Structure 1
Amino acid sequence: MATQKQSVVVLAPAKLNLSLDVVGLLPNGYHNLDMVMQTIDLYERLTLRRSQDLILRMPGSFVPVNEKNTAYKAALAFFNYTGLLAGAEIVIQKRVPVRAGMAGGSADAAGVLVGLNELYGARLSMSELCAIGAGIGADVPFALMGGTCRVQGVGDFLKPLPPCPDCWFVVVMPNVGISTPEAFKRYDTMGSPVHPDCEKQEQAVRAADLAAVCAAAGNALEHCSGAKETPAICEKLNAHGAVTSLMTGSGAAVFGVFDREEAAQAAAQALRQEYSQVYFARPVRGGARVVSVRTSKTPRTTPQT
């Protein structure tokens, strides 16, 4: 009897931008970015099972389940790249807020790529997975790599950094999300008074200096995001002891960085009185990963002579 993998479970973490700067426009019209990104222990949970068809389910989520979904795109891209004539039933329990700037959709895509790679024993390298992921979305390569990274270009240049200094995050999702294309359109019109020093922040990460990491934090999109609640949330997080607070990505989620767990827990409890989506999180190393595999035994086929 041969053993065959029947299903896998993958955890794919959300990300926060410890810094985000817009440093210009690229020839293709996309914005040239410079960022320091961090994965956190807020996960999308994906279960992938062998199937002849491609089936995607997101129970309890209002995210459309169609050909435009990043998870669906990732599955098609994987099968196209490998040439495997197969399918999968993919069930995603979403926990990362939508339109938050936390790369939930990219985490889903990364989780699908990692999961299918394991399920079908394709043995694709990380560089191959990242190349496939880059065709799906700008944040997918980072969602695969995870940890702490300096990310440049449109998300296609990744430099792994040492782990982020020990800290705690409190993430608050306002009642209204933000469209990434709209945020960049507003940036093109309004510009930004904020341009964080990502090089200085990288050096602070390398020195394991949390205070310096926070001093160099900033988001060039925060000023023009259109998220009216951001300043008030930052003020509340700072009042509860955050070393710094800022918007992540193109918004709308806001997070505070804390150097004491007790202060972070108290801040999370206080913000939950006003906001329905408040998350207490820690930095994690690595991106989407397989956490369990189920196998079954299948009869070996004997070649006919």
Structure 2
Amino acid sequence: MKNRSLTIKAYGKLNLFLDITGRRSDGYHLLKTVMQSVSVCDTLSFNLSCGTGIELKCSSPGFPLDSGNLIWKAIEAFYSHIGVKPAGKITVEVKKEIPSMAGMAGGSSDCAAALAAMNELYGTGLPLTELCSIGVRLGADVPFALTGGTVLCEGIGEKLTVLPAPPEMYFAAVKPQAGISTASAYAIYDSLPVKPEQNYAEFESALKSSDLNGIAKGMFNALEAAADADEIKKAKRRLLELGAVNSMMTGSGSAVFGIFANRSDAERCIEKMSDYSFARTLVPINKGWEIIKG
């Protein structure tokens, strides 16, 4: 067979608003969350060649290279969905930039990019809605990562409403050393005697009117109360001291970001927070993935 290859970017995300509205009988939490694609990305290089099986390559420590990886699961789910046997060996080389255990959807973004890449390599032409139906079975954030942009995600993440892009803004994002597992964050949240609350309508109104200060004021993450770590509090405080309009943890953590009105202020902030293993100036983008070679 003729070798085929492509390279795809998988963009990370920040949660601008995250509320937990209930819980299903199967244990899944119901969400109302606004996710925003941002400019940090993993790069996945796919090669379809003679042979059989799946091979993952990555130099990042701790990155799983077996069937437990969401990229691997996405490839298998794609083959199962289209009902064909693999036409060769799939090798995927991954360059990681999205930090792990950060609440920035690194695994989900890779999974989404893998589904998009397989759809392209095999020329199956599956529409986005069909890719999302495969993806939601692999992870709640995968449909968003396939869609990208600024999206209200409800249910367990499968109900998507595209929202207006935010006004010009810049994020200074850092990841404290501590990592927080999603399962642990939700378990702690469930045990809280009093749950935090915030008015979503006010946040959405600010977003639709491109009111940066209103967006910053209305930001909310119910899971922050479950991630009561000193490192997270310290990062938020430093971001505010360095000029952020507001700061917040994203997802289940542990990454924290601050909103800035201009790039230079965000970049100066990151320069002063370079002691973090991950410290980046990020901007909102309108896509979850992007084929750059293929």
Aligned to 1:240: 242
Contact persistence 1:165–1:209 (CA under 8 A): yes
Cα 1:76–1:192 shift into 2, 3 Å: farther
SS of aligned partner of 2:205: helix
Aligned to 2:286: 285
Unaligned runs of 5+ in 1: 294-305
Mapped to 1, the partners of 2:96 and 2:195 lie a distance apart of 35
Listed one character per residue, the Cα deviations across residues 115-153 of structure 1 (whole Å, up to 9, x for unaligned) are 111111110100010000001000000000010001111
Aligned to 1:147: 149
Aligned to 2:72: 72
Unaligned runs of 5+ in 2: none
**Residues 1-305 of structure 1: matches in 2 within 5 Å?**
6-51=4-49, 52-86=52-86, 87-191=89-193, 194-272=196-274, 274-293=275-294
Structure 1 residue 191, shift from structure 2 partner: 4.9
SS of aligned partner of 1:211: helix
Greater shift in the superposed pair: 82-91 or 138-147: 82-91
Structure 1 residue 83, shift from structure 2 partner: 2.0
Q: TM-score, normalised by structure 2?
A: 0.95
Greater shift in the superposed pair: 39-48 or 275-284: 275-284
Contact persistence 2:178–2:231 (CA under 8 A): no
Contact persistence 1:5–1:119 (CA under 8 A): no
Listed one character per residue, the Cα deviations across residues 56-110 of structure 1 (whole Å, up to 9, x for unaligned) are 1222231222211111100000111112322411111111100000000001101
Q: How many equivalent pairs are there?
A: 290
Mapped to 1, the partners of 2:69 and 2:250 lie a distance apart of 22
Contact persistence 1:36–1:198 (CA under 8 A): no
Mapped to 2, the partners of 1:121 and 1:250 lie a distance apart of 36
Mapped to 2, the partners of 1:117 and 1:227 lie a distance apart of 41
Aligned to 1:298: none
Mapped to 2, the partners of 1:45 and 1:67 lie a distance apart of 19
Mapped to 2, the partners of 1:11 and 1:191 lie a distance apart of 41
Mapped to 1, the partners of 2:191 and 2:138 lie a distance apart of 27
Structure 1 residue 289, shift from structure 2 partner: 2.0
Contact persistence 2:153–2:159 (CA under 8 A): yes
User: RMSD across aligned C-alpha pairs, in angstroms?
Assistant: 1.5
Q: TM-score, normalised by structure 1?
A: 0.91
Structure 1 residue 280, shift from structure 2 partner: 1.0
Contact persistence 2:168–2:261 (CA under 8 A): yes
Amino acid at match of 1:111: A
Amino acid at match of 1:159: T
Contact persistence 2:8–2:45 (CA under 8 A): yes
Stretches of 4+ aligned residues off by more than 6 angstroms: none
Mapped to 1, the partners of 2:66 and 2:200 lie a distance apart of 37
Structure 1 residue 276, shift from structure 2 partner: 2.2
Amino acid at match of 1:203: S
Mapped to 1, the partners of 2:279 and 2:287 lie a distance apart of 23
Mapped to 1, the partners of 2:179 and 2:194 lie a distance apart of 20
Cα 1:93–1:188 shift into 2, 3 Å: same
Mapped to 2, the partners of 1:10 and 1:202 lie a distance apart of 31
Flag the structure with larger Rg: 1
Structure 1 residue 192, shift from structure 2 partner: 5.4
Identity between Structure 1 and Structure 2 (%): 37
Amino acid at match of 1:18: L
SS of aligned partner of 2:225: coil
Amino acid at match of 2:143: P
Mapped to 1, the partners of 2:193 and 2:212 lie a distance apart of 29
Contact persistence 2:55–2:65 (CA under 8 A): no
